[in-house]
Structures are given as structure tokens and as C-alpha cells.
Amino acid sequence: MKARIGLVLVSFLFPVSLSAQLGSRPTNDGGGWLFLDSADIPATKHNVNHEAVFKKYVNGHNVSVLKAIDNVQAHAMDGGGYFIGIKATPTESPIGYDLKLFDKKLLEPPRTTSYCSGSTYGVFVEALNLIIPDGESKLSAERLESLRMQEPDGSRREDQIKFWGKWNDDGWGSQYALVQYSGMGDEIPPERARPGDFMNISWVRGAGHSVVFLGWFLKNGQLGMAYWSSQKSTNGFGDVALCPLSNVKSVKIVRLTHPEKIFEFDVQRSVNRAIPGEKVVPPAR
């Protein structure tokens, strides 16, 4: 009995942080390159096996991100369609289903299709639903509004505006939103990337891409990477195994480390968009 009283007293004097209460923790890594087993390199475009296949490589919050990929993919097992067109009627839809954070709608999708940053944002949101299942009562109205993907009148939320506008921005959207704007994530160098990290890719030819990283792999002596996102080649949601990486100019990788800051971030915070990406330099062998 004395021990229980002491424990209660300590908890009263030193309240347990929200991050400790979540029952999960940030993903850690060994600080070096990790390569997928050849059997785990995606061979099909559409599946809901990301948690089952890739969780052996990670711990902590990234396991929830992998499960969240499965939850998003389950809404469109054929990919759901890929479409971009701001001026189209109806306009493009970031994601093609009624995405909710803590049971609060973030948009009324104009279409059933998706595009890259909308799909990765969907994974981010679904991961929060898994990590913080009782988050509804803790989220303020102004932060919920910042996270919404449309304006109150249903019109498109423009790039750089609030949380979603920063995630959807050209360049390093997930870094702007998770690291600078909300403090919910940390930058990770390429050699420490693990399945379930968020990545923005700058192509040598073409625009950028927002993806959820699934792993590095080696094939015929060349470095490749697997990722999940929405793209034309997978008809929307789906896996890609890219090798070689000759069209990858640079990347920016972010890991979800402080999901509890969803309840604390300053909705007026600005970000620095003039930051460089990182080259992916294969390890010496």
C-alpha cells in the first residue's frame, strides 16, 4: 500500500508528459544504412501489408505510420486514381475519401482521386489517429482549422497557408510542416532513413514528389529505394521500387517524433522555405 501511495504522490508532484502517456515512442535507428531484404522489395503496386512486412525494421511511431499506409490504401485497393488540376471542374482532390482527424473531417473531397502530398498527409493524419486515439478533446479549434485541407467555404486551401498548405507546398513540404511549423518531427539524413519516414524528392527531370519511405535496397550493385505515395504509375495510392536513383537530385527526410505537439503548435508560425535538400550518396562497399 505504501508503494502505491508513493507512486500516486510522485505522479501528482511530477505529472507524466503527454508523450510518455502515448504508449509509443519516437523511432530510433542505429545511425547507419539499413537495406531491405530482397524479398521485401515491393513487387506489387497495391497491398495492405506495409505494417506486416516493414515493421521488423523499425520500432516506435514509424510502426503506426506503416499501419496508417495500410489504412489509407484500404480505401482504394486499385489506387483510386491519380489527378492534378487546380483549374479543373471539379478541382483536384488531395485525397479521395473523407479524411478525419480524431473523427473531425478535414475536407469534403471534390473527387475520388488523389495526388502525392495529399496521400502522404492522409498517412500522417491516420497515424495520429492510431497514436493518440483520444485526441479529439485535446485539439483546439484553431489547430483543427489549420490542419484542414479546404477553406471553410469548401474552396481550395492554397500552398503555404497553415499546416496543410505548408505540407502541400512546393519543395520540402513535410519538413516545413513537421519540423519548422509544428515541431512534430526531426530531419533525418539519408543514411539513417527507416521505413515510415516522410520524404520529399526533388527530381533531376520533373517536379518534386512527396512519399512515405519504405527502405533502401541494393540491386545489381546499384542503390534503389522503395516508397509509397500517389502517382500516375500506380493509378493513385501504391508502392514504387525505384532503381537506379539517377533521376533523384536531392531529398529531404523527416521522422514523426513528437506527435503530442499537435496540441501545442503556434498556428501563426512562419517557415524558411530557402533550405537545401540532401544528396543521396551511396555507401562505400
- Local confidence band at 10 (pLDDT 50, 70, 90 cut-offs): very low
Show the cell assigned to 234.
500506380
Share of the chain above pLDDT 70, in %: 92
Angstrom distance (rounded) from CA 143 to CA 261: 11
Beta carbons of 178 and 185 less than 8 angstroms apart: yes
Residue 35 confidence (pLDDT): 98
First to last CA, the chain: 59
Please tell me what DSSP assigns to residue 158. Answer: P
Express each pLDDT in 256-285 by its tens digit. 999 999 999 999 999 999 999 999 999 887
- Local confidence band at 206 (pLDDT 50, 70, 90 cut-offs): confident
Residue 24 confidence (pLDDT): 74
3-state secondary structure of 131: helix
Residue 284 confidence (pLDDT): 82
Residue 188 confidence (pLDDT): 98
pTM of the model: 0.92
Express each pLDDT in 103-146 by its tens digit. 999 999 999 999 999 999 999 999 999 999 999 999 999 999 99
Q: 13 pLDDT exceeds 80? A: no
Distance, CA of 207 to chain centre? 19
Which region among 77-81, 84-88, 200-204 has the lowest average model confidence (pLDDT)? 84-88
Beta pairing, strands 185-188 & 208-219: unpaired
Q: 21 pLDDT exceeds 60? A: no
Q: 79 pLDDT exceeds 70? A: yes
- Local confidence band at 18 (pLDDT 50, 70, 90 cut-offs): low
Q: 49 pLDDT exceeds 70? A: yes
Q: 11 pLDDT exceeds 80? A: no
Beta carbons of 63 and 50 less than 8 angstroms apart: no
14 vs 174, higher pLDDT? 174
Half-sphere exposure of 267 toward its Cβ, with a 13 Å CA cutoff?
Answer: 14
Q: 252 pLDDT exceeds 90? A: yes
The average pLDDT across 236-261 equals: 98
The average pLDDT across 33-60 equals: 98
Angstrom distance (rounded) from CA 2 to CA 268: 48
Phi then psi for 219, rounded to 5 degrees?
A: -145, 120
Which region among 9-13, 187-191, 215-219 has the lowest average model confidence (pLDDT)? 9-13
Share of the chain above pLDDT 90, in %: 88
Residue 88 confidence (pLDDT): 94
Across the chain, mean pLDDT equals 93
The average pLDDT across 200-228 equals: 97
Express each pLDDT in 168-181 by its tens digit. 999 999 999 999 99
Q: 22 pLDDT exceeds 60? A: no
Angstrom distance (rounded) from CA 145 to CA 138: 14
The residues spanned by each domain of the chain are 27-262
